[in-house]
Amino acid sequence: MRKLNLIAGMALAGLVLIGLTATADKTSANFTATSTNPGNTFQSATLSMSNDKPNANDLVNITNLVPGDTANRTVTITNTGNAGFTYAASISATANTLLWSDTTNGLQVTVKRGATVLYSGALKNLVIAASGTVNAGATDTLTYDFSFPSAAGNTFQNLSQDFTVTYTATQLAGSAK
């Protein structure tokens, strides 16, 4: 019995020692310090543009067109966003009459920025390469000189041609901030 009490006492002492060892590092004190970077924000830019002829027939709405007629129109592109961009333009049509498809006697156009000619040729092939930078709040004006060639014959009578010019803005390259 004495031997059993001795073994039980040693076992109890071992458990107490293990318990003290396990809790010893949880009760010791350590110095700590913290530092933060609060309230950081990234906000992306807004790429937005408009033009002063946004509705159907705003740019051109001509009836009774005859060979030799010309029309001069301007469009002002405005950067309504908060990031600079360049823009390009292209054309499309739903109808495909001789006014569109005949690249010699059909509708012709010359597009200028100031005195610089950007495109001259058949209306259906209109492509305007990327502009220079248009900064936020700035504008860029294009002049369209449309013409119906004098050589157009009787096959061009009683035709109606629609078209849409689409301006596509592209943000400027990102930079180190």
Which of 129, 136, 123 has the alpha carbon at shortest distance from 92?
A: 123
CA–CA separation, 59 and 51 (whole Å)? 10
Q: Which of 13-22, 35-44, 115-124, 129-138 has the lowest mean pLDDT?
A: 13-22
Establish if 139 belongs to a structural domain: yes
Q: Confidence band (pLDDT; 50, 70, 90) for 70?
A: very high
Number of structural domains, the chain? Answer: 1
Establish if 98 belongs to a structural domain: yes
The first and second tokens of residue 113, run together, are 């920025």
Establish if 2 belongs to a structural domain: no
pLDDT tens, position by position, 144-170: 999 999 999 999 999 999 999 999 999
Give the chain's end-to-end CA distance (angstroms, integer).
83
Q: Confidence band (pLDDT; 50, 70, 90) for 175?
A: confident
CATH of the domain at 90: 2.60.40
Establish if 18 belongs to a structural domain: no
Q: For all residues of the chain together, what is the average pLDDT?
A: 90
Q: What secondary structure does DSSP assign to the chain, as a single string? A: -HHHHHHHHHHHHHHHHHHHHHHHTTSS----------S---------EEES--STTSS----S--TT-EEEEEEEEEE-SSS-EEEEEEEE-S---HHHH-TTTS-EEEEEETTEEEEEEEGGG-EE---S-B-TT-EEEEEEEEE--TT--GGGTT-----EEEEEEEEPPP---
Establish if 126 belongs to a structural domain: yes
Is the pLDDT confidence value at 26 over 90? no
pLDDT tens, position by position, 76-95: 999 999 999 999 999 999 99
- Residue ranges making up the domain that contains 95: 49-171
Q: What dihedral angle (degrees, nearest 10) is formed by the CA atoms of 121, 102, 69, 61?
A: -90
Q: Which residue has the higher pLDDT, 14 or 47?
A: 47
